[in-house]
């Protein structure tokens, strides 16, 4: 990886010599390529920056956790600062866990669907490559924001804070399109942890579900169909298909 690519990896805010299993630390550019996960992420970031001009000024922050116990932190995310001088940012959380093991059955079904769209066997989209897919998905959100919002002719002359608010309003509108509006996975898990059996039954009955499994399946299906999420999924699928040879992939027959 050349210096230009390394320059897009944010330096850690602090270095930790010892890390317990619940502590999150940041990895700098020098940590990339030291294991299979970071080798693949390093390659993916180099390809993304090279192929997508929308990402040339975006910064990558890589976080590391030995073991992930909270389901909310099994992915990556993106940050769109409202201040013009602050860079757009992608955050990726790595761990020693197999990311597939952290997913429920509904999410695993989605991964299988993604593998099929890419042209892979189910077992090929796992481990380090699944981390790359998650990474590319988050990059897709950033490309969407830069291409369709920051660089949108209709929004030229607006302050970034105004454009970010337009994005947020549209994302909130997206979330209202879920089978159960605005019910995210963390919110539902928190609800389950605090609710009585009667309250859970009332929730399912109010929205016409026969079981928690049915709710999760329909909620996941509607989430993947949201405009912003389907854009990011399609971006990640196309990115891996385009660069399959570089990732050493052989398509399923």
What is the value of pTM for the model shown? 0.84
Q: Which of 61-75, 119-133, 201-215 has the lowest mean pLDDT?
A: 61-75
- Per-residue pLDDT of 145-201, as tens digits, reads 999 999 999 999 999 999 999 999 999 999 999 999 999 988 998 999 999 999 999
| Residue-level length of the chain | 253
Q: Which residue is it, tokens 């320059």?
A: 7
Q: What band does 27 get if pLDDT is binned at 50, 70 and 90?
A: low
Integer angstrom CA distances of residue 209 from 72, 212, 214, 217, 227: 24, 7, 6, 10, 24
Q: What band does 123 get if pLDDT is binned at 50, 70 and 90?
A: confident
Q: Which residue has the higher pLDDT, 126 or 179?
A: 179
Q: Which of 29-38, 47-56, 82-91, 226-235 has the lowest mean pLDDT?
A: 29-38
**The three-state (H, E, C) secondary structure of the chain, written as one string:** CCHHHHCCECCCCCCCCCCCCCCCEEECHHHCCCCHHHHHHHHHHHHHHHHCHHHCCCEEEEEEECCCCCHHHCCEEEECCCCCCCCCEEEEEEECCCHHHHCCHHHHHHHHHHHHHHCCCHHHCCHHHHHHHHHHHHHHHHHHHHHHHHCCHHHCCCCHHHHHHHHHHHHHHHHCCCCCCCCCHHHHHHHHHHCCHHHHHHHHHHCCCCCHHHHHHHHHHHHHCCHHHHHHHHHHHHHHHHCCHHHCCCCCC
Q: What is the per-residue pLDDT for 177?
A: 96
- Per-residue pLDDT of 210-243, as tens digits, reads 999 999 999 999 999 999 999 999 999 999 999 9
64 burial class (0-12, 13-18, 19+ CB within 10 angstroms)? buried
């Amino acid at each position: 990886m050349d210096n230009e690519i390394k320059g897009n990896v944010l330096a850690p805010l602090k270095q930790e010599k010892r890390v317990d299993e619940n502590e999150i630390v940041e990895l700098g550019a020098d940590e990339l390529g030291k294991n299979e996960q970071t080798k693949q992420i390093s390659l993916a970031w180099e390809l993304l920056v090279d192929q997508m001009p929308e990402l040339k000024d975006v910064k990558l922050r890589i976080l590391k956790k030995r073991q992930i116990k909270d389901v909310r932190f099994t992915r990556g995310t993106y940050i769109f600062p409202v201040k013009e001088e602050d860079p757009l940012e992608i955050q990726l959380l790595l761990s020693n866990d197999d990311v597939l093991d952290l997913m429920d059955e509904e999410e695993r079904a989605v991964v299988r669907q993604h593998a099929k769209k890419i042209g892979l066997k189910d077992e090929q989209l796992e481990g380090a490559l699944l981390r790359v897919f998650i990474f590319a998905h988050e990059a897709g959100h950033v490309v969407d924001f830069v291409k369709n919002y920051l660089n949108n002719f209709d929004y030229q002359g607006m302050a970034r804070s105004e454009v970010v608010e337009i994005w947020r309003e549209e994302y909130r509108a997206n979330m209202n399109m879920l089978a159960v509006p605005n019910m995210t996975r963390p919110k539902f898990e928190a609800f389950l942890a605090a609710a009585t059996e009667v309250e859970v039954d009332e929730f399912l009955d109010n929205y016409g579900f026969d079981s928690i499994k049915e709710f999760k399946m329909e909620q996941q299906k509607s989430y993947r169909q949201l405009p912003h999420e389907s854009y990011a999924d399609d971006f990640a699928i196309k990115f891996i298909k385009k660069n399959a040879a570089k990732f050493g992939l052989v398509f399923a027959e």
